[in-house]
Structures are given as structure tokens and as C-alpha cells.
Amino acid sequence: MRFDTSPAPHVIAGYTVPRVMFQVLLALVPAGIAHVALFGPGLLLQLSVACVTALLTEAAALRWRGRDAVPALKDGSVLVTAFLLAFSVPPLLPWWLGALGTALAVLLGKHVFGGLGQNPFNPAMVGYAILLVSFPAEMTRWPVPLDVDGTHTWPELARLSFASFYGADLTSHWDGYTGATALDSIRNGLALRYTLPELLGRGDIAGEFGARGFAWINLAALAGGIYLMARGIVRWHIPVAVLAGLLVPSFIAHALDSGGALAPTLQAFSGATMLAAFFIATDPVSAATSDRGRLWYGAGIGLIAWIIRTWGGYPDGFAFAVLLLNLAVPFIDRYTVPRIYGR
Amino acid sequence: MAVRSTFPAGLALDAHKQQACGAPIIELPQPPRVALALDQGSGYSAEPVVAVGATVAIGTLVARANHPYASALHSPLAGTVAAIETRDAATEGGRSVCIVIESDGSGRIDHRVRQAEGAASLSPDELIQWLRDAGIAGLGGAGFPTATKLAAGRARGTQTLVLNGAECEPWICSDDALMRSAADEVVLGAILLRRAAGAERCVIAIEDDKPAAIAAVTHAIERQRNAAQGDHDQRDDELTLAVVPAVYPQGAERQLITTVAGIEIRSGSLPADAGVICQNVATAAAVARWATRGEPILSRVVTVTGSGVEHPCNVRAPIGTPLSALIAAAGGYRGTPLRLIAGGSMTGRALPSDEVGVTKAMNCVLVATREDIGSRLGAVEMPCIRCGDCANVCPVGLLPQQLHRAAVADAHDSLRELGVRDCIDCGLCDYVCPSQIPLADRFRDARRRLNEADAMAARAADARQRHETRTHRLLEAAAAEQQAFESVRNRVRQSGDDPAGGTG
Amino acid sequence: MNPAALIVALLVAVALAVALGVALGWAASRIEPDSDSLVERIDALLPQTQCGQCLYPGCRPYAAAIASGEADIDRCPPGGDATVRALAALLDRAPRPVDPAFGAPKPAQVAWIDEEKCIGCARCLPACPVDAIIGASRHMHTVIAAQCTGCELCLPPCPVDCIELRPATATSLRYRQSRAA
């Protein structure tokens, strides 16, 4: 009896890229629920425009590059980019900005470099950074979250979200419903010579354990991140290093100047900290290669984010921190090659 | 004595061993015909010493090893040499010259096969020579001549002999079955091998998922110890058992040595350079068979398993038996067999036909159906997403994602630096890759191209040197000739007798 | 923007440029380039067939000609396109195929003397640029396959045309296999 021959190994574990991507999306669900509960359904609107734009842009880009579109679309990687971008931008972003950001993320962040596996930069962060720098007003306008006492109701936030999504002018009727994020308010307050205790005492910036609204989203993202680590999709090195890079300087600064420097808990549970640590910085394509390299990579991201938050012009520094460390990855890789057994 | 794994990473795999390991080893009867491949797995061929038509008996030498990496072949049948021809074989390239012997049913044993009495009193060098004559080769899968390995060890000084009973690869359980049923042979072989190698101690390593084998070998060691009471030559308190974690590839030579002896073998050097020799337990049992019965290697235990056979089992088959006979002994084919693999699922070689003969290096025949290899069949390669899963499992600490990039680009310097030659070809990176990239094959190809490039460079360097030497020689010859001419001319001029008319 | 700030900024930028330029220059002088001369580095990339198809008497003279700019890099058929690419990378030029005017790239080949026809005239011995033919006058000649570069220079001198070129096999290419560790 004759047989076909083929090289070893004859079995594989059966992990696939779509499965990895799907697990990441699943882990984002808790954060999504918290987001919608506290900031209204705007996230869902952003998700829909981001996902549709991402898929269409990817299909077009693949066509343009002469590649087969369907297998690449099925791998789900562009959906992860869309999700991360949708989570990072304010839920009130007009639809055409969401579409622009996503299209730029897919084109300039991924396909211009050769598609899946070739991008040196995190595509979602490329899109976010372009939007932030080009449209600073729209990109820093968040709804006042529902866990600030005595403000609004969820249906009102829903109406606001739809209105803003379709491009309504928010300065007239919706004025009291929007504002800066907690980190933004703190930064502005400190610049106006208020102390932290004064700012935090007002109660509308931060709650029991973190920034209003964002604390719950961060907690949910942390839960999702732990799930990913338990499933082996994400290894501990990058998240732990990012948090250490952010919280260690924060701890020191807060110990030295508790009136002017944010406490580590506030740093950890505000802005995009947990999202960045577990979902954004862990993008494997643009991260460092070896475990030791990933520790340096994560620590660098945390540290630069802390620097931007403390002294920089933007309220949350993770997007730029990630992009800067993406630049540094070849350098990190060169000096953190693991020792080969026997050498 | 339980030992912790100390080589990097590795992965615990589904063993698939229970199916075959339950029943006792089936002794296959003599087949009507055997095909002995001259290359028994080491990559180097023996040379026939019989011609077509010659009569042979069981144990007759039919091929001599004229190269230190080849091993001698003995006939497992009594009969006639029917042909010496190229056939499908379980070797590199899929084809080899084979000596085909047809049985005459007489079962005559060659008179040269005799009690190797006094094996205990042979000197180590004599032992090594007798092992070479018996064609003893590594039965763990490499087929490397034992005598050559031991001689290299003696030359460099061996402290430790490690007996590899790990058998880490999924599906294979021939060593397990052998240890359960012939633990005394294994222990006797260990003692002989230790003496031949000149080692101070011997450690038998067995994975912790084989409790029956561990018990059997433990008792065999005790029996040996009791029997040798007072025999000062048998330093058998130096024979110990180490239970090692069942992590693939625990049974890989370098990794096992790291776990058991705590030494890392330097890249590019041999275990013998570090004072360690590693031998398989089946090889030890074969050595014991030769010492007690005078038998050269005539048969070996092979696991016949997979979803493609009715009753997976272990069989003892004469070398050269066509695999169809082994499959028949396992109850025949079941379902739709898709691939016939010599070895396990991670490093085994797919064979083109079941008429291929058993070789010394063949420890398992895996008849695979879609149930067993479906995951690989359905694999579609995607771009590398640099997830790093491959690096997390590599037992050598390499970065397969970087190696893959270098292999695709054929960047030889990067390949060398990243250690493609340190890769032990275990297949784990390939196994875990979510993009389903055939990494193991890419690296094999990269190594081949590196070897070709190195060979070309060596040839070029040699040609350059020869050319320079020749150029130099011609210049010197021309200069010497010129000088000779000048001296003759001067002599002629001085003597005043110049037939050229004084014009010079 | 006040002019004083502009001038200060300009001065700082110029000072940085000068300082960094000096530092780079110092670093460049301290970091040694490869000690091999250019000719040797080019020669290291050539296949050492010593066949003369490039119209130079050997690989080394051709390497010297490339280094001096006298010859172009696409003249070596035994090296093939791979050698041209390697030379292009070394010399920072555009790669291209081997110029067909100098010959066509052939697969690796070794010379073989048909012993039935060889008359032992010894005319092929001096022709071989790497001394790969052994023999003597009125004795059988043979080619040492492992040393033969396939240059074909032994064909013209043979008066009985007993030399032919055969494709090199893995065995004949396996160079000093015991050395490969």
C-alpha cells in the first residue's frame, strides 16, 4: 500500500490566529459593558463605524496590493484594531472622524508596511495619534460619567451620543453634559495652582478608587486582561512591566509630593491604563521579541506615559508612549537576545 | 530519584501511548523475505560482503561497516540473497540499496553466533571492538554506531553514562514495553556499556509517566546489586535510576543530559567532550542479548500504533521485515490510513510504502488517519504575528520568529548568529504556531542551504589556495630556468667558445 | 516671537550641529573598517573557478580589475547571478544578470577523464589552474573530483578529446566531509 509523504511534524496544536483575535475581543466585553453603562451607548456607535470602516479599508487595501482579500479578512486582526481604537476615542466622536481614524489606522498603520505581521507601529495608536493631533477639541470631549452624583440619566446620554455621532454642534444645548476627562481636569486644576486634595475633594473627578467613570472601565479591562493571561494569549511580561513603569515613579512622586502628584491607585484606574497595559501594548507584532526585551518595552511605555501625564501637554500619554517604544523595538531586540542553550 | 527539568521550556504533549502499551510484546515470526537497507538510519551505508545467490544463515555478516558512522549488518533469516538493489527504504531520501534475503525456512543459525562468554572479563577496548562487530547501533532513533560513540567517549574521558529511557515523543512506547519485560537485560547492558565507556557512574533516566517501567527497572537494579554482592569488579552502587518530568523533548540527548547530569553541552561540541555518553535503553538491551546469547542485532521492538491499525501493540520484529507484516500483526489497517510514519508524530519520517523494511533506528510505526493528523492537513499558512509562542516552547532558547524571518530572506549570517544549527529539530515551534507556519521544515531547508554555502566556500578557499600555490610554483620554475640559462650563458661566454657568434 | 529667542535658538542649533559633527568624526576615525583590502573582499565573493571566462587570468586579477574600476561586476558565469548580487551589495551598485557575452551560468560540473581514451600525454596537467589532475607522462591521468572547479581549461589541450564535463554530484561536492563537525 502506498502513502503520501510529508515532512515532520505531523501534528499541530491547532491554535489559529482568528482564535487568538477572538479571545482578545471577548476579553474586551467587560470593559465595553462598563463603558456603555457609565458613558452611554456612544461606544457602540464608535464600534460599528470602526468595524465597518476597518473591514472595508482592509479589503480595499488588499485588493490594491493584489492580495486575496477573504482569507486575510477572516483572521480578525483588523477587528481588534477597530475595537481598540473605538475604546480609546471619546464616545461622542462624530462618525466621520471615527471612520477617518480607522481608515488611517488600517492604511498607514498596517498595509503601507506590508499587512499582517509587518507593521512596526501599533495600528490603533497610529490612528488615534493622528486624530488627537489633528482634532484636539473633538478628541478630548467626553460625556460626564454617570457615577458623578446628581447629573444626568442614561437616556439623556444616549440622545447626546446619537446627536454628536451625527455631527451636532455640542456647544449649545448639550453644554453641561460634556467635559474633560478626569486626568484632563486634574492637569488643568494643577496648572491653576489647586492642590490635588482640593481637586479630588470636589468629588466629580475621582471616586473611591479611581477616576469617575474610568475607574470601572479600567477594572473591567483588568479583569479581561487577567482572563487573557490565564488563557495564555498574553504573557505577564508586558502588562506587569507597563504597570510597574507607570506606578513606581508615581509612587515615588506621590510620596514626595502628595499635593501635586497623583497617587498610584488613581494613576492605575484612570484614563486608558489597563486597556493599554493588557490590550494595546501587548500587540505582538509591534512589541519587542524576547521576554526580557518585553520587560524593557513595557517599562518604557509605562514610564513615558507617566512623564507625559505629569509634565506633558496631553492628558493621557499612552498612545505616544506606545508609538515611541515601537520605534525603540529594533534597538531593544538587538540587546535582549536570549542566551542560546550551550553558548 | 526524581529530578527537575533544567533545560529551557519544552511542552507537555498528549502521549497517545496507552493504546499500544497494555499488552505484552508480540514476537513476530520470521517473515518470508527481508530487505536490509545498507543505510540503517545514520546516513552512512555499510558495504555488502555477500553476492546475489549466496547462502546465509541467521547471524551471518552480510555487510561490513567501512565507515565509522555506518554499522555492520547481519542476516536475520536463513536463506539466500535474492537481490541487492535500490528500493524504498526508511532512510534520508526515501530510497536505499537494500540486501534482499529470501528465507528457506530452515532457521539455521550461523556457527559464528555463539555464547560471548566472559563478556565480563573483556577489556573496554575489546568490548568496543565486539560491539562494532555485532553491528550494535543506537536503537533510539538515530542508528549511530555505538562502538564509534563509545570510542570517542573513551578518547575524551567519560564520567557519566546516561541511559535514555525517557521516550518523550507521543505514540512511541517500545522502550517502555522493553523496560517492563526485559529490565534485567537493560541493567546488564548498562553495566557493560559503562565498562566499555570507562564511565564512573551510570544513570538510567525514565519519564515519570511510565510507573510500570520505573518499578521494573528499580527491581532489576536491586536484583543486580544482590547478585553481585562481593564482586569487586561490579561497582553497581554507581548505577542509579533518575525519574525525569514527562516534558517533550526530555528524551533529546542534550536536554536529557542537562536534566540528569546538570551539564549544558557547549554549542557545536559533543556530549563526549563534556564527559557524558548517552545511550538508549534498547541499545543496552541489545548489548545484553549479544553478551548472553552471542546474537548481533537481528531484531528490535517496534511500536505499531495509530488510529489506522486495529489493535495497537508492540512487536519484536526481525530487521528488514516489511512493515506490512507488522501492521498485520497489529490486526491490519483500520479506516482510511493517510500517512505511514516511521517514528512519532513530532519527528517521524513519512514513508512512501508499507513494503519498506524495519531498520535498526525504527522505534515506532505510526499509521495515521485524519483523526491523528487532521490538524496538520487542514493547516493554512498565515503571516507570522510575532506572538512569541514558538520562543516560549523552544528547548534550546532560540527565537524561531527571528529565525523564520532570516530563513525566508536566506540571510546566512543572521541564521548562523541566531543559532539555526543549534536547533534540535524537535518540532515544538511548528506545533504551537497559531499562524501554522511549517517552521521545522523551513529551518531544515535553511540548514541545508547553509551547509551548501559552507561547502561551496570551503571548495572556493581550497581552489584559491591551490591556484596560488601553482602560480607561485610556476613563477619559481620560470625564475629557476632563467637563472640556469644565465649561468650557462655566462659559463659559455667566459670560456670564450660562443657558437652564437658572441652576440649573447 | 521675539528676535532674541530666535537668535538663541539658532545658536543652540548650530552649536549642537558642530558638537555632534565633531563627535561623529572622532568616532569614525576610531572605528576601524575591515582590515581586508577591497580586492580581497571582492575576491572572497568570487567562486575561485579560475576559468578565465571574465577574460582575466584567474579570479584574483578579475577582483583587482573590479576594484580599480576597469571591469564590471557581471562577468562571472560560474558565480552566476548570486555572485553578481553579492558584489553589487558590497560595492553599492545595482544588481543585474550575468552578461551573456562572457558565458552562460552552468550548474556545478567536474571534469572526468575517460581512461579508455587517455594516451597519457600530460598536456592537460599544466592547463589546470588548481592542479586537480594527477598523472605523469605515459601514465594514466585522472581528475581529483573534489578539487576540480569545472573551469574547462583542460579540454582544449587534450589531443584525443578524452575529457568531458559531468554534473557535480553530492558526493563529489562533499568537501572533506569528516571535517564538517
One domain, residues C60 and C79: yes
- Both C125 and C85 in one domain: the answer is no
Give φ, ψ of A64 to 5 degrees. -60, -35
* Backbone phi and psi for residue B56, each to the nearest 5 degrees, phi listed first: -130, 155
- List of residues 6+ apart from C96 with CB closer than 8 A: C74, C84, C88
Tell me, yes or no, whether C55 and C88 share the same domain. yes
Q: Which cell numbers hold the place of B367? A: 499509521
- Parse chain A into domains and list their residue ranges: 15-179, 210-336
Residue numbers of B between 239 and 298 with CB closer than 8 Å to A: 254, 258, 264-268
| Residue B16 to chain C, least CA–CA distance (Å) | 36
Query: Neighbours of A (≥3 Cβ pairs closer than 8 A)?
Result: B
The single residue listed with the C-alpha cell 610556476 is B474
Judged by CB atoms within 8 Å, which residues 59-78 of C form the interface with B? 59-60
| Distance between B94 CA and the closest CA of chain C, angstroms | 16
The residues facing C165 across adjacent strands are C111
Q: A340 vs B267: CB contact, 8 Å cut-off?
A: yes
Do the chains contact at A8 and B347, CB–CB below 8 Å?
A: yes
Answer yes or no: do C43 and C61 share one domain.
Answer: yes
Which residue carries 479571545 as its cell?
A: A23
- Contact state of B383 with A16 under an 8 Å Cβ cutoff: no
Task: Report yes or no: B263 and B276 within 8 Å, Cβ to Cβ.
Answer: yes
To 10 degrees, what angle do helices A77-88 and A17-27 make? 20
Q: For residue C61, what is the DSSP state?
A: H
Interface test with C, best of B466, B468, B469 (most C CBs within 10 A): B466
Is B347–A9 a contact, with Cβ atoms under 8 angstroms apart? yes
CA B249, CA B247: separation in Å to the nearest integer? 6
Could you tell me if C112 and C155 lie in one domain?
yes
pLDDT tens, residue by residue, A77-130? 899 999 999 999 999 999 999 999 999 999 999 999 988 889 999 999 999 999
Of B451, B463, B470, Cβ closest to residue C149: B463
Domain count, chain C: 2
Peptide bond into B170 cis (omega under 30): no
Q: Do chains B and A touch (3 or more CB pairs under 8 A)?
A: yes
Pairwise CA distance, residues B183 & B176, whole Å: 10
Inform me whether the C-beta atom of residue B382 falls under 8 Å from chain C C-beta atoms.
no
Query: Of C47, C146, C180, which has the smallest distance from its Cβ to B460's Cβ?
Result: C47
Full strand arrangement of the beta sheet holding B201-207:
B239-244, B201-207, B160-165, B276-280
What class does CATH assign to B18-104+118-305?
Answer: alpha beta
Residue C174 to residue B455, Cβ atoms within 8 A: yes
Q: How many other β-carbons are positioned within 10 Å of the β-carbon of residue B123?
A: 10
**pLDDT tens digits for C80-118?**
888 898 899 888 888 888 888 888 888 888 899 999 999
| pTM for this prediction | 0.86
Condensed to tens digits (0 to 9), the pLDDT of residues B313-325 reads 999 999 999 999 9
C13 assigned to some structural domain: no
C31 at B interface, C-beta within 8 A = no
The pLDDT value given to residue B306: 93
For B229, counting Cβ atoms within 10 Å of its Cβ (0-12 exposed, 13-18 middle, 19+ buried), the class is exposed
* 3-state secondary structure labels for all residues of B361-406: CCCEEEEECHHHHHHHHCCCCCCCCCCCHHHHHCCCCCCHHHHHHH
Among residues C86, C102, C118, the one where a domain terminates is: C102
- C131 with C147, same domain: the answer is yes
Q: Which of C129, C130, C175 sits opposite B458 (nearest CB)?
A: C175
Subunit partners of chain B (3 or more CB pairs within 8 A): A, C
Quote the ipTM score.
Answer: 0.86
Q: How far apart are CA A219 and CA A278, in angstroms?
A: 12
Decide if pLDDT at B398 tops 90: yes
Classify strands B33-37 and B26-27 as parallel, antiparallel or unpaired.
unpaired
Tens of each residue's pLDDT in chain A, 343 residues: 889 888 989 999 888 888 888 999 999 999 999 999 999 899 999 999 999 999 999 999 999 988 888 887 888 889 999 999 999 999 999 999 999 999 999 999 999 998 888 999 999 999 999 999 999 988 988 888 887 766 678 888 888 888 888 887 776 677 777 777 888 888 888 888 888 888 888 877 877 788 888 899 999 999 999 999 999 899 999 999 999 999 999 999 999 988 888 889 888 998 889 999 999 999 999 999 999 999 999 999 999 999 999 888 787 789 999 999 999 999 999 899 998 988 8
Sign of the dihedral through C-alpha B156, B160, B163, B166: negative
Q: So what's the pLDDT on residue C173?
A: 60
β-strand pairing of B33-37 with B95-103:
antiparallel
Q: Do chains C and A meet with 3 or more Cβ pairs nearer than 8 Å?
A: no
CATH number at residue C64: 1.10.15.40
Helices A42-64 and A154-165: angle between axes, nearest 10 degrees: 30
Give the range of the structural domain holding residue C128, as residue numbers without chain letter. 107-168
Q: Is the alpha carbon torsion for A107, A109, A112, A117 positive or negative?
A: negative
Contact criterion met (CB < 8 Å) for B368 and A10 = yes
Same domain, C94 and C126: no
If asked whether residues C122 and C156 sit together in one domain, one would say yes
Residues of chain A neighbouring B351 (CB-CB closer than 8 A): 3, 5
